[in-house]
């Protein structure tokens, strides 16, 4: 079945000597595409440069049954990026976030709200210069779409229970945050990327809060794998 859909590139894997398998998040859910001969042919319309991380594509594709590889017949880049792939800070952050998204996005079903969130977030990342806190708010807001965004009122609470995903006055037995991480979590609940741009966190606070977020994902997603690119991200943003 031929379909027209927008697609966000998440990762590519070399297949044999001449082909790529590309995983994308589309308006129809997560999809994997086999690009035969793309690494060796010069005549085809599809080029390896079209499949850099987070490239925003509009594609005409043949979608097969679930679990099978799909095929792209035509494409166009509908929103070219200007700095996402050339700025070392943005490209490093993109690699880190793409690893997490590849890990957590599994559903081959339509979720337009999630697609639009990703699309708008990456356009924002490309178009702004101060992005050191972007990943913190991105990951927190991603939990809205994964089903475990923090609940309950933040006022008059001293702890956040990671397992239950709630703010609480009572100290949980295990898996909780308080003090600086709690204050930071409360401060970014409900804000947008333009607001977090103005907030100043030192490298230590940023790392501790990111560690909390990764622990939070791991508790709520049993198959979650801790990102290998975290060390690279930390070395770039230290």
**Which CATH number covers residue 215?**
1.20.1440.120
Quickly state the pLDDT bin for 154 (edges 50, 70, 90).
Answer: confident
114 within some domain? yes
In this predicted model, what pLDDT tens digit does every residue of 46-55 receive, in sequence order?
999 999 999 9
- Residues 103, 33 share a domain: no
179 within some domain? yes
Q: How far apart are CA 102 and CA 185, in angstroms?
A: 25
- Whether the predicted pLDDT of 156 surpasses 80: yes
Q: How far apart are CA 29 and CA 12, in angstroms?
A: 17
| Crossing angle for the helix pair 134-146 and 203-220, to the nearest 10 degrees | 20
Single out the residue in 77, 98, 129 at which a domain terminates: 77
Domain count, the chain: 2
Query: Range of 93's domain?
Result: 88-236
- Residues 96, 14 share a domain: no
82 within some domain? no
In this predicted model, what pLDDT tens digit does every residue of 106-123 receive, in sequence order?
888 899 999 999 999 999
Q: In what order do the strands lie in the sheet with 2-15?
A: 29-35, 19-26, 2-15, 56-62, 71-77
- Whether the predicted pLDDT of 141 surpasses 90: yes
- Whether the predicted pLDDT of 155 surpasses 90: no
Q: How far apart are CA 39 and CA 140, in angstroms?
A: 37
- Whether the predicted pLDDT of 79 surpasses 90: yes
At residue 1, the pLDDT reads 82
- Residues 56, 104 share a domain: no
- Whether the predicted pLDDT of 158 surpasses 80: yes
Q: How far apart are CA 54 and CA 136, in angstroms?
A: 18
- Residues 118, 21 share a domain: no
In this predicted model, what pLDDT tens digit does every residue of 15-35 receive, in sequence order?
999 999 999 999 999 999 999
- Residues 150, 120 share a domain: yes
Query: Using alpha carbons only, how large is the chain's radius of gyration in Å?
Result: 19
In this predicted model, what pLDDT tens digit does every residue of 67-78 receive, in sequence order?
689 999 999 999
148 within some domain? yes
Single out the residue in 77, 102, 137 at which a domain terminates: 77
- Residues 116, 232 share a domain: yes
At residue 201, the pLDDT reads 85
At residue 47, the pLDDT reads 93
């Amino acid at each position: 079945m031929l379909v027209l859909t927008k697609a966000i590139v998440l990762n590519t894997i070399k297949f044999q000597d001449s082909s790529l398998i590309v995983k994308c998040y589309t308006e129809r859910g997560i999809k994997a595409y086999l690009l035969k001969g793309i690494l060796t042919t010069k005549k085809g319309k599809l080029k390896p440069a079209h499949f850099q991380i987070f490239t925003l594509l509009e594609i005409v594709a043949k979608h097969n049954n679930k679990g099978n590889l799909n095929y792209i017949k035509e494409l166009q880049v509908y929103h070219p990026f200007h700095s996402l792939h050339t700025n070392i800070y943005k490209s490093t952050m993109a690699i880190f976030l793409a690893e997490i998204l590849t890990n957590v996005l599994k559903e081959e079903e339509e979720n337009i709200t999630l697609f639009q969130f990703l699309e708008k977030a990456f356009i924002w990342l490309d178009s702004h210069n101060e992005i050191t806190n972007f990943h913190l708010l991105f990951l927190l807001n991603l939990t809205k779409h994964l089903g475990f965004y923090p609940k309950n009122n933040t006022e008059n609470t001293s702890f956040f229970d990671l397992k239950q995903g709630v703010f609480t006055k009572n100290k949980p037995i295990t898996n909780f945050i308080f003090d600086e991480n709690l204050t930071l979590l409360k401060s970014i609940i409900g804000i947008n990327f333009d607001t977090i741009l103005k907030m100043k966190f030192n490298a230590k606070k940023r790392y501790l809060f990111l560690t909390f977020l990764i622990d939070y994902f791991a508790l709520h997603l049993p198959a979650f794998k801790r990102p290998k690119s975290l060390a690279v991200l930390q070395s770039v943003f230290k």
